[in-house]
């Protein structure tokens, strides 16, 4: 406990023990020891007996003086460090040199840690001593740890790794949230809110203004993205940069070539739309990548691969298609649309680019513009035509039935092209948002076979299940249940456990609306096999309990239709709005 005192010429317990062992008059020896090692203030000696009279132990007095002096010294260290003296760090280094032998003394340790914290460059020998001692490493401040980490990537990796795992677990938990809603989904939190998350704040603090540590974290994220293909690492890459931007850490923001691009894109994500002005800015950044600097495309592609960026780009694309229809214009005539496709293509190609280390924008398939998007527009026109036909007086109606097949180009492109597939999936979400049952029944079967099984990915299924809550009353018909479950979800639930989970999430929310006979069949089909994960089993058990509870207390039959049933459902506007 008192290790290091002899090095400084200060007596400790061992010295007192030796003195008492060898002396003939113990009381005199104790007095002598107190005189030599007490507070060297002549006027104090005559005052101490007064404390004895008040029954105050000498230990208590010395401890209170010690605590007071320690606080004053720590304040003085901070004042020196924050001052303007040219030799301020020399003073602190001298103090460190004198006090460091006592670093293992709990009472003195805070002073030494305070000195270390305020030194911009701790002597290497001291850093190594701190790093080699687990207890010292644990209690030293993040400012000291940064100096240790910047030359010890493996140690920094050990510190960062649990945070990165925690981040992925949190993102995946959000996708499987039991709260199904179109208003509160995975993409609802604003960028600034997301940056207040525990992991982003901790990483930001660990990096501070240290460019070397920032580069290390980016390297970890690239490596993990390559190893796992998990796009949430791309989100963290963008969030980290913008978190440092929020704190005005110019030392890092000024050297990250993606900073201004990310800042502009972040504003688009906040609005969930890329307007014409920002589109021109983003295009300027992409066009401005100079020869010899192509490597920046790897980072830009990773930022565009962030699901929040991708969500914004595809929502803007769907909105753009609607505007083109109202103007009777073609996709190839819209520069804004072509830029959105270019950015989607760059984002979707992030993994391939970083893996191959060939930093070149992927060539966009022009047929997406000339054939696939017109096919999407023809599906929209079919829908408009049928809707107008239904509103005509009976004598003017033709025998037009709602089309059930899709243009071959649409089906082929969502199977073969990832950008086309992403747009196709978001168009399905768009029609679900409009509560368009006919179009949904027409499109869902085509999603069984999509590029890289994107329709069975967690992000799309999370959004689709939330959007389907708008059509909850339609689940009372066998036709709609068949379209959603038999023709889409159940085609892959047995081979993809995530689909099984999303089915159960949806049913836990809508079970009272689903046709009773169909619900019985679904319960048999969705019963988890023994090898299923606990989360699937728990969801199934919860659903079973809900069904049994509703059998015991069935909902009361409505005597008369409520007012809102006589009203037509209000279509949700297709234009995304920014939550306030």
Note the pLDDT tens digit of each residue in 396-441: 777 678 888 899 999 999 999 999 999 999 999 999 999 999 999 9
Q: Is pLDDT larger for residue 293 or for residue 464?
A: 464
Residue with tokens 């909105």: 319
The pLDDT, as a whole number, for residue 10 is: 67
Q: What is the DSSP string of 534-569?
A: HHHHHHHHHHHHHHHHHHHSPPPPPSS--GGGGSPP
Residues 6+ apart with CB under 8 A from 443: 379, 406, 427, 428, 431
Q: What is the dihedral of CA 27, 28, 30, 36, to 10 degrees?
A: 170
Q: What are φ and ψ of residue 275, in 5° steps?
A: -80, 170
Give me the mean pLDDT over the 490-519 stretch.
Answer: 93
CA distance linking residue 109 with residue 112, whole number of Å: 5
Question: How does the average pLDDT of the chain come out, rounded?
Answer: 88
Give me the mean pLDDT over the 102-128 stretch.
Answer: 86
* Per-residue pLDDT band at 11 (split at 50, 70, 90): low
Least confident of 120-124, 283-287, 319-323, 413-417: 120-124
Secondary structure, 3-state, 472-522: HHHHHCHHHHHHHHHCCHHHCCCCCHHHHHHHHHHHHHHCCCCCHHHHHHH
Q: What are the tens digits of pLDDT across the range 349-380?
A: 999 999 999 999 998 899 999 999 999 999 99
Least confident of 45-49, 132-136, 231-235: 45-49
CA distance linking residue 232 with residue 237, whole number of Å: 9
Give me the mean pLDDT over the 89-96 stretch.
Answer: 84
Q: What is the DSSP string of 179-204?
A: ---SSSSTT-S-HHHHTTSHHHHHHH
CA distance linking residue 153 with residue 220, whole number of Å: 10
- Please list, residue by residue across 45-82, b when 16 or more beta carbons sit within 10 angstroms of its beta carbon and e when fewer do: eeeeeeeeeeeeeeeebeeeeeeeeeeebeeebeebbe
* Per-residue pLDDT band at 208 (split at 50, 70, 90): very high
Secondary structure, 3-state, 393-456: CHHHCCCCCCCCCCCHHHHHHHHHCHHHHHHHHHHHHHHHHCCCHHHHHHHHHHHHCCHHHHHH
Q: Largest Cα–Cα distance of the chain, in whole Å?
A: 128
The pLDDT, as a whole number, for residue 73 is: 83
For residue 364, the number of C-alpha atoms closer than 13 Å in the C-beta half-sphere is 20
The pLDDT, as a whole number, for residue 399 is: 67
76-90, 105-119, 157-171, 396-410, range with greatest mean pLDDT:
157-171
Helix axes 276-287, 259-271, angle to 10 degrees: 160
The pLDDT, as a whole number, for residue 17 is: 77
For residue 75, the number of C-alpha atoms closer than 13 Å in the C-beta half-sphere is 6
> Which ranges in 100-141 belong to alpha helices (H)?
109-118, 124-132, 134-139
Helix axes 307-326, 418-433, angle to 10 degrees: 70
Separation of CA 506 from chain center: 24
Residue with tokens 């830029």: 339
The pLDDT, as a whole number, for residue 19 is: 74
168 three-state secondary structure: helix
Least confident of 39-43, 91-95, 472-476, 552-556: 552-556
The pLDDT, as a whole number, for residue 564 is: 40
Q: What are the tens digits of pLDDT across the range 528-546?
A: 999 999 999 999 999 999 9
The pLDDT, as a whole number, for residue 8 is: 60
The pLDDT, as a whole number, for residue 40 is: 66
The pLDDT, as a whole number, for residue 3 is: 57
Residues 6+ apart with CB under 8 A from 171: 232, 235
Helix axes 211-228, 153-175, angle to 10 degrees: 50
CA distance linking residue 118 with residue 78, whole number of Å: 7
Least confident of 82-96, 313-327, 391-405, 444-458: 391-405
CA distance linking residue 505 with residue 516, whole number of Å: 18
Task: Count other Cβ atoms within 10 Å, centred on residue 363.
Answer: 8
Q: What are φ and ψ of residue 41, in 5° steps?
A: -135, 105
The pLDDT, as a whole number, for residue 403 is: 86
The pLDDT, as a whole number, for residue 556 is: 54
> Which ranges in 288-359 belong to alpha helices (H)?
296-305, 307-326, 335-348, 350-356
The pLDDT, as a whole number, for residue 562 is: 42
The pLDDT, as a whole number, for residue 319 is: 95
Q: Is pLDDT larger for residue 580 or for residue 97?
A: 97
Residue 523, pLDDT > 60, answer yes
């Amino acid at each position: 406990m008192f290790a290091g005192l002899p090095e400084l010429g200060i007596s400790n317990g061992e010295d007192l023990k030796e003195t008492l062992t060898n002396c003939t008059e113990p009381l005199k020896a104790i007095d002598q020891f107190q005189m030599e090692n007490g507070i060297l203030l002549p006027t104090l000696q005559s005052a101490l007996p007064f404390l004895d009279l008040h029954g105050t132990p000498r230990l208590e007095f010395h401890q209170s003086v010690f605590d007071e002096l320690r606080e004053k010294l720590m304040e003085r260290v901070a004042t020196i460090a924050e001052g303007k003296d040219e030799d301020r760090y020399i003073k602190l280094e001298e103090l460190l040199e004198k006090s460091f032998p006592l670093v293992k003394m709990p009472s003195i340790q805070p002073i030494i840690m305070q000195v270390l914290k305020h030194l911009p460059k701790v002597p290497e020998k001291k850093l190594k001593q701190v790093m080699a001692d687990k207890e010292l490493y644990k209690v030293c401040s993040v400012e000291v740890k940064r100096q240790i980490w910047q030359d010890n990537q493996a140690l920094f990796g050990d510190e960062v790794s649990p945070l990165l795992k925690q981040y992925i677990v949190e993102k995946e938990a959000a996708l499987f949230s039991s709260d199904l809603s179109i208003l509160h989904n995975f993409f609802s939190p604003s960028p600034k809110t997301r940056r207040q998350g525990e992991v982003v704040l901790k990483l930001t603090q660990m990096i501070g203004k240290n460019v070397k540590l920032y580069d290390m974290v980016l390297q970890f994220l690239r490596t993990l993205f390559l190893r796992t293909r998990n796009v949430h690492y791309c989100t963290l890459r963008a969030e980290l940069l913008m978190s440092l931007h929020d704190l005005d850490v110019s030392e890092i923001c000024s050297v990250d070539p993606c900073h201004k691009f990310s800042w502009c894109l972040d504003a688009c994500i906040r609005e969930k739309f890329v307007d014409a002005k920002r589109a021109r800015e983003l295009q300027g950044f992409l066009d401005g990548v100079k020869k010899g600097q192509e490597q920046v495309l790897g980072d830009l592609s990773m930022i565009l691969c962030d699901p929040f960026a991708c969500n914004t780009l595809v929502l803007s694309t769907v909105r753009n298609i609607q505007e083109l229809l109202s103007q009777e214009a073609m996709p190839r005539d819209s520069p804004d649309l072509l830029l959105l496709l270019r950015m989607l293509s760059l984002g979707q190609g992030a993994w391939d680019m970083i893996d191959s280390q060939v930093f070149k924008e992927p060539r966009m398939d022009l047929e997406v513009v000339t054939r696939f998007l017109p096919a999407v527009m023809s599906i929209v026109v079919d829908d408009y035509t049928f809707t107008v036909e239904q509103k005509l007086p009976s004598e003017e109606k033709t025998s037009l039935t709602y089309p059930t097949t899709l243009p071959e180009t649409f089906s082929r492109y969502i199977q073969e092209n990832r950008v086309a597939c992403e747009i196709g999936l978001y168009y399905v979400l768009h029609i679900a948002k409009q509560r368009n049952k006919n179009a949904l029944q027409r499109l869902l079967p085509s999603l069984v076979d999509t590029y890289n099984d994107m329709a069975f990915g967690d992000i799309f299924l999370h959004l689709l299940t939330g959007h389907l809550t708008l059509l909850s009353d339609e689940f009372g018909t066998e036709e709609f249940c068949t379209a959603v479950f038999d023709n889409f979800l159940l085609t892959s639930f047995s081979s993809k456990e995530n689909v099984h989970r999303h089915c159960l999430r949806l049913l836990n929310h809508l079970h009272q609306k689903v046709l009773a006979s169909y619900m019985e069949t679904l319960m048999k089909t969705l019963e988890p096999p023994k090898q299923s994960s606990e989360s699937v089993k728990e969801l199934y058990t919860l659903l079973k309990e809900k069904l049994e509870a509703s059998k015991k207390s069935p909902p009361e039959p409505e005597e008369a239709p409520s007012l809102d049933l006589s009203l037509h459902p209000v279509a949700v506007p297709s234009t995304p709005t920014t939550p306030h």
